[in-house]
Structure 1
Amino acid sequence: MSRTRSVAGSALGIHRRSVLAATGAVALSAGVGHALRPSDSQAATNTAATEAHGSVLASSRQAPAAPLAPYTKGTTLASVAAPRGSAGYRRLGDGPGWERVVRAELAAPRSGRAGRRTALAAFVQLTDLHIIDAQHPLRLEYLRSADAHAWRPQEALTVQGAIALVERINALRGAPVTGSPLHFAMTTGDNTDNNARSELEWFLTVMSGGRITPNSGDPRHYEGVQNSGLKLYWQPDAAVRDADKQLGFPHLDGFLRAAIREVRSPGLNLPWYSTVGNHDSLPLGCYASHGDSYLTELAIGGKKLMSLPAAEAKKLQDAIKNATDPRGVRYADFLRAHARNMRSVTPDEKRAPFTPAEYLKAHLDPAHRGLGPVGHGYSSANLDAGTQYYAFRIADDVLGISLDTTDPGGHYEGSVGTAQLRWLEKTLRLNKDAYAVIFSHHTSKTMRNTRPDPARPDERRHNGQEVLALLGRHRNVLAWVNGHIHRNAITPHTGPGGRSFWEISTASHVDHPQLARVIEIADNKDGTLSLFTTLVESSAPHRTDFADLSQTGLAALYRELSYNAPGGSTGLGGDPEDRNTELLLKKS
C-alpha cells in the first residue's frame, strides 16, 4: 500500500529550497501545501526575482488524511464512453476502462515499489478547452466547404462541456494511484478559441465559478450558422435536410434556445494555474492582427460571412496552414471582397479581441480568483515586464514552470524568445535541488515557427529542439506537459549524460475523446521515480437523452456530437501507452 508524504509537514524557515518562494505562487489544495498571501503571488520573470534567497513566504497547513488505496472512480480506468452500433450517427454508452501501461524506456521497474513509494505531488492538466463564442462574426465556419472538420457540430456547447469537466475534477477524492490530495489544476492553453473577450469571460467564470450566459449578439435568440438554413451545417431546430442530418444527426427542437441559456459553474475546488496558447494570443489562433481596426470592427459589428465556395475556402485554409499571411493582411482583404455576401447579425462589443495585457488583467481580476492563487500564476510583474511566463512551487520538492510558446509574429505553431529561454535556464539552475515540471501549450514538434516578435524584432526565436536540448541538460527536469495537438501522446527524451524526462501531451476537450489528465509524481525509494498519468472524462453521463436539454444533458450531447463530428480524427485518444501510464525515471 502506498504511503503519502505531506508536502507541508515541517515548520518553515530557511530551507535548502527556499529560493522557490521567489519563483511564484505556491499551490494549495483542500488545506494541503502552502498558501501565499495575495501580495506574495509574484511571477519570476526577471533575474532579481529568480536569484532571491531567504525564508519561504508561506505558512504551513496541516494536510488532511488521504485515501491510501488506488482510487479509480470517475476515471478512464473504470469506464470510457464507447459507441454503440456500427454505422451512421452512433450513440454512446458505457464502455470498458483503459488499463495502465508501465513504460520503462527511461528506467527499469523494480519489484515492491508500490509498497515503498511516497507521493511528491499530484495535479490535473486541462488543455485546449477552446471555449467558443459560436456566433462570433470572425469565425471560419465557412472553411467547412473544403474541410468537413473546419466546423464542428458541438461548438455551441463548449461552456456546458467545460463545466462538466470541472464537476468531474471536483468529484475526485484523490489521486488515482497514491491517494494524494490533488494540489492544483493547470490549463495548458487554447483556453479560448477566437481571442474574444466574451470567450475569456466565460473561461474564467467556468474555472473560478459563477453564472454564464453563453450567448452574444441578440440576447433573445441565437444568430449563427446553425439557424442559417445552410445545408453545410447541422440545423438542429429546423426541418431542413442538412448534410449532417443525412449522416444521422438528430432533429432537436429547442436545442439552440437551450444552448444559449444561462448555466452555472461551481468553479474548481482546488487552485488553478493558466498557461497561454495561440488561440488565446492571436485572433483566430493564427493572425498577428492586433490593432487592425477593420478586423476589430468586424468582430464587434453586425455582419458575418457564413458560406464560401469550396475552392476559395481551400485557398484560405492553405494560406493559414502555410503561414503565408501571418499578419492577416490578405485575410482582411479577403473579407472586404466578400462584404456583399455577409449576413446581418446583432453587433456586440463583448466580442472584441483582447491583448496580452488584457489577458493578464482578466486573470488578476478579483472577480475571477476562485480558490486562487491571485492571477492564477500571472502577476503584476508579468504586466510590468510584458511577459506571460512564470514559475511556482508545487511542493517543497517540486517546481512548476509555465512557458509562453506562442509566437506574436503570427501562425499557430510556436517558439520562445531568447530572453525567455535564458530565464528558463537560470530558473532550472538556481532550483537544481528541486524536481521541475515544465508546462507549455505547444509540443516540442510544433515549435517550428521562429518568426520574429513584432515588439522585439531583433530578438531571436528558438524552436522545440532547442528547448529539448536545454531541458536535457538539467537532471531535475521530470516532465514537459503540453497540449496543442489535440491528441494523447507520451514521448521519452534523453539528454547528455543520461539525463532524461517525459513529454506528456494531452488530448483537447473540444474534440473527441474530450479528456483531462491527472499526473502524480512518486518516489519509489529504490533509485527511481514514477510519474502516473490517468485520464478523466467529464461528469456528463455517457448515454444521451435527446429529450434532455438541461445543462447536464447538453454536456452529454457535447461528447456524443464530438464523437460523430464529420471529418474528425479517430486517433486522438492515442495508443494505450499514451493514456493511463506509469512512466519510470532514474532519480537524479
Structure 2
Amino acid sequence: MPAYSRRHFLTGTAAASAAAALSLLTDGRFASAAAADRAMAASAARAVRIEGTTLEQVATATGSGPYKRLRSGPGWPLVVRTDLAAASSARDGRRTALACFVQFTDMHLVDTESPVRFEYLARELGSAYRPQEALTVRGASSLVERINSLRGGPFTGSPFSLVMATGDNTDNHEHIELDWYLSVMSGGRITPNSGDPARYEGVQNSGSALFWNPESAFRDDFKGQGFPQVPGFLTASGSPFSAPGLRTPWYSTVGNHDDSIEGTLPDLGLLHSLYTGDRKLEGIDEDEAAKLADALRNDPAQAIAHLARLLRNGGPVRDITPDPRRTPFSPAEFAKAHLDPAHTGPGPVGHGFTASAAASGKLYYTFPISEGVLGVSLDTTNPAGFADGSIGTAQLKWLESVLQSRSSHWYDADGRVVRGSSGSGELIVLFSHHTSGSMGNLLPDPHHLFEKRHDGNELVALLQRYPNVVAWVNGHTHQNQILAHGHAVPERAFWEINTASHIDFPQHARIIEIADNGDGTLSLFTTLVESAARYETDFGDTSNAGLAALYRELSFNDPNATPAKRLGAPGDHNTELLLAKPGKR
C-alpha cells in the first residue's frame, strides 16, 4: 500500500468518502481490503504526517517455510476508542496540542557472555535465551535513529518534548549493560562485548544444539527450523560502533531487570563473585533444568543456592575471561550513573534522578512533560524478587501528596469531593515499568521488612480519585495493550497504555500526543513506531545496518516467543483515546 499524505488524500478523495471511512475506525475490523484502504486513507487525512510510523508501513512476514523473512507491509490505520467519552465530528478542526512525547520500553540490553544467565532454561522459560540477544545494543541504537528522524507527532505535528524509557533498560542489572544503555540514549562509542575483547565467549558458539550457533555449519535446533548460517556474525555483533544518541531530552524509569538477577532473583550480594568470575554454565540435564526453573518461579532463595551449586559443580562449564564490569549495580548506583556528565547528552542532568536519589536509592520522581502536563515516574520493582511488582507505603503516600498538590479537587476514599487549596489543575501522566495487572507481588521488601506493599488494584483506585490523571504508561508484559479504567464514572476515568518490548517482536516504541479538542474532551493519540532498520535482510551483510535488520527478523522467528500475542489487537496499536477533560466529566 502506498504511504498516503494529507495532500494526496484531500486532492483525491471527497469529504463524503472521508466521513464514511472514519466510521470504520471505531473497532479496527474491515470487511474488505477496500474498506481497509479507505480507513488508512482517512487516518492519513487526519494526520499531519505518517512517515516513519506504523501508520505508513509495518514489518510483515513472508514465505512458507518455518523461518519467515520480513518485508514492508501495509500500515495500521487509526482506531478511535470511545470507551470513556464520545467523539464529536468537528474535533479535528478545533484541536490544540498539549503534549507530545515518546515511550521506549523493555530494551533489555544483554551481556550475553555473563556467567549469571539461564540460557539453558529456554525450553522451560522462553525469555532465558533469544537468538537475537547479541544484537540488542545495535537494535536499540537503530530505534534511537528512528526517533531522531521524526519531526514530531503524526496527529498534532508537535515536536517531542522527551523520551521516557519505562524500565528493563538492562537485562541483568550489570554495570556494563547500564553503560551501554546510557551510551545508546546519549550517544558515544560502544563495544557490546564483555570478557575477552578479541573473542566471543557465550552460548552461541558452544556447539550445543539448544542454541543458534550462527557462524557454524553445525545443524543445531534453530538451523533445523530454517535459521541461517551467518559467517562473521559474532565478531561483528561484538565490534565497536558509534551510537548517535537521542536528540531529544530523555528520562529513565526502573524495571525489575534493572533491579534483580535476571529480573527474577533478589540481589542480596550473594552472587557477585559469580558475575565477575571465570566459569559459565552452558547446559544442565532436563531434571536439573526443571528444578531450577521451578525454583525461579516459586522460591528465589532456593534458586540462588541451586545456581551457585551448578556453577561450581555442574556441567558443561566453560572457562571464560573474568570481567569486573559485570558487577551488578544497586538502585543508588543506577541513579548515580545517570548523573555522570559523560551521559548527559541532550539532558536533563540526571535524566530524572537527583543527587538525593543517588544517595537514597529512591527511584521515583516528578518531571515536566510540557506546560500544564506533569509526568510522574514510579518505582514498581520489588527487591524481594520475582518478575512482577508492587509499591511500598512510603511511595504510595508520596504519590498521593503529588496528586493532591496538583489537583483542584479530588475524591476521598468514601467518594466525597475534596477541594484543593492551591492545586494547579495540571494534567498528570504516570509512568512505571509494571502494569496494573502485573503488580501483585506483595512479598516484603528485604530492605524495609515492616513496610506494607500495595498492588495494582490499590494504585488504580488511588488514581481514580484524581480527575486530572489522564494516562498511565507502562511496559513489562512485552505486549501492546490499552485499557480503559473508569467506564461507569467519567470523572474517575483514565487510560492505561502498555507497549510491547524492544527485544521481542514486534520491537515497538510509542508516540503519545495529548490534545484538547475544544469541546470538553481530550484526545490521546498512541502511534507505534519501529526502528530505522530496513525490513529486508541479507545474511551476508554484517554491517551495522545489516545487523539491525537481522535483529528484527530473528526476533520474529524466535521459537520460544509468541509474536501474534505480543502484537495486540488493532485497538492496542495506533489509537485515538477519547477522555473527558477534568472539570468537564
Q: Secondary structure at 2:235's aligned position in 1? A: helix
User: What's the offset of the Cα at 1:321?
Assistant: 2.2
Counterparts of 1:197 and 1:75, CA distance in 2: 33
Among candidates 282, 294, 311, match of residue 306 of structure 1 = 282
Among candidates 349, 369, 389, match of residue 324 of structure 2 = 349
Q: Secondary structure at 2:566's aligned position in 1? A: coil
Tell me whether 1:393 sits opposite 2:371 in the alignment: no
Q: Secondary structure at 1:71's aligned position in 2? A: coil
Counterparts of 1:416 and 1:147, CA distance in 2: 26
Tell me whether 1:176 sits opposite 2:154 in the alignment: yes
More displaced stretch, 505-514 vs 490-499: 490-499
Counterparts of 1:164 and 1:336, CA distance in 2: 35
Tell me whether 1:443 sits opposite 2:419 in the alignment: no
Residue number in structure 1 paired with 2:14: none
Residue number in structure 2 paired with 1:376: 351
User: What's the offset of the Cα at 1:106?
Assistant: 0.2
Cα contact 1:125–1:516 (8 A) shared by 2? yes
Cα contact 2:166–2:475 (8 A) shared by 1? yes
Residue number in structure 1 paired with 2:173: 195
| Cα pair distance change 1:395/1:237, threshold 3 Å | same
- CA deviation map 1:497-519 (0-9, x unaligned): 73100000000000000000000
User: What's the offset of the Cα at 1:337?
Assistant: 6.0
Q: Secondary structure at 1:552's aligned position in 2? A: helix
Cα contact 1:178–1:520 (8 A) shared by 2? yes
Counterparts of 2:390 and 2:310, CA distance in 1: 29
Cα contact 2:440–2:455 (8 A) shared by 1? yes
Residue number in structure 1 paired with 2:550: 557
User: What's the offset of the Cα at 1:453?
Assistant: 1.2
Cα contact 1:160–1:551 (8 A) shared by 2? yes
Counterparts of 1:333 and 1:350, CA distance in 2: 20
Unaligned runs of 5+ in 1: 3-67
Cα contact 2:267–2:383 (8 A) shared by 1? no
Tell me whether 1:585 sits opposite 2:579 in the alignment: yes
Counterparts of 2:544 and 2:168, CA distance in 1: 23
| Cα pair distance change 1:148/1:129, threshold 3 Å | closer
| Cα pair distance change 1:281/1:75, threshold 3 Å | same
More displaced stretch, 145-154 vs 476-485: 145-154
Counterparts of 1:89 and 1:584, CA distance in 2: 40
Q: Secondary structure at 2:567's aligned position in 1? A: coil
User: What's the offset of the Cα at 1:454?
Assistant: 1.4
User: What's the offset of the Cα at 1:339?
Assistant: 4.1
Amino acid aligned to 2:568? G
Amino acid aligned to 1:403? L
Count of residues paired in the alignment: 520
Residue number in structure 2 paired with 1:427: 402
User: What's the offset of the Cα at 1:567?
Assistant: 2.0
Q: Secondary structure at 1:285's aligned position in 2? A: coil
Q: Secondary structure at 1:531's aligned position in 2? A: strand
User: What's the offset of the Cα at 1:193?
Assistant: 0.1
Residue number in structure 2 paired with 1:164: 142
Q: Secondary structure at 2:80's aligned position in 1? A: strand
Tell me whether 1:290 sits opposite 2:264 in the alignment: no
| Cα pair distance change 1:331/1:442, threshold 3 Å | farther
| Cα pair distance change 1:207/1:327, threshold 3 Å | farther
Counterparts of 2:374 and 2:235, CA distance in 1: 45
User: What's the offset of the Cα at 1:386?
Assistant: 2.9
Residue number in structure 2 paired with 1:210: 188
Amino acid aligned to 1:150? A
Q: Secondary structure at 1:80's aligned position in 2? A: strand
Amino acid aligned to 1:561? L
- Normalised to the residue count of structure 1, the TM-score between the two structures is 0.86
User: What's the offset of the Cα at 1:147?
Assistant: 4.7
Residue number in structure 2 paired with 1:412: 387
- CA deviation map 1:41-62 (0-9, x unaligned): xxxxxxxxxxxxxxxxxxxxxx
Among candidates 461, 473, 482, match of residue 453 of structure 2 = 461
Cα contact 2:84–2:490 (8 A) shared by 1? no
Counterparts of 2:52 and 2:231, CA distance in 1: 31
Residue number in structure 2 paired with 1:568: 561
Residue number in structure 2 paired with 1:79: 57
User: What's the offset of the Cα at 1:384?
Assistant: 3.5
Cα contact 2:266–2:300 (8 A) shared by 1? no
User: What's the offset of the Cα at 1:313?
Assistant: 1.4
Tell me whether 1:510 sits opposite 2:486 in the alignment: no
| Cα pair distance change 1:178/1:229, threshold 3 Å | same
Counterparts of 1:104 and 1:186, CA distance in 2: 26
- CA deviation map 1:68-94 (0-9, x unaligned): 962110000000011111231111011
- Normalised to the residue count of structure 2, the TM-score between the two structures is 0.87
Counterparts of 2:521 and 2:126, CA distance in 1: 47
Among candidates 513, 516, 525, match of residue 532 of structure 1 = 525
More displaced stretch, 234-243 vs 137-146: 137-146
| Cα pair distance change 1:84/1:125, threshold 3 Å | same
Q: Secondary structure at 1:164's aligned position in 2? A: helix
Q: Secondary structure at 1:304's aligned position in 2? A: strand
Cα contact 2:284–2:315 (8 A) shared by 1? no
Residue number in structure 2 paired with 1:476: 468
- CA deviation map 1:409-440 (0-9, x unaligned): 11111000001000101101101110000000
Tell me whether 1:486 sits opposite 2:457 in the alignment: no
User: What's the offset of the Cα at 1:371?
Assistant: 0.5
Counterparts of 1:341 and 1:271, CA distance in 2: 46
User: What's the offset of the Cα at 1:383?
Assistant: 2.5
Counterparts of 2:456 and 2:241, CA distance in 1: 40
Counterparts of 1:290 and 1:269, CA distance in 2: 37
Unaligned runs of 5+ in 2: 7-45, 408-424
In the TM superposition, 1:296-335 aligns within 5 A as 296-322=272-298, 324-325=299-300, 328-335=303-310
Q: Percent identity?
A: 56
Among candidates 198, 211, 215, match of residue 233 of structure 1 = 211
Counterparts of 1:343 and 1:385, CA distance in 2: 38
Counterparts of 1:192 and 1:383, CA distance in 2: 18
Among candidates 249, 253, 269, match of residue 227 of structure 2 = 249
Counterparts of 2:105 and 2:196, CA distance in 1: 30
Counterparts of 1:223 and 1:143, CA distance in 2: 18
Residue number in structure 2 paired with 1:155: 133
Residue number in structure 2 paired with 1:138: 116
Counterparts of 2:301 and 2:78, CA distance in 1: 42
Q: Secondary structure at 2:239's aligned position in 1? A: coil
Cα contact 1:212–1:263 (8 A) shared by 2? yes
Among candidates 541, 546, 558, match of residue 548 of structure 1 = 541
Counterparts of 1:76 and 1:255, CA distance in 2: 29
Amino acid aligned to 1:308? I
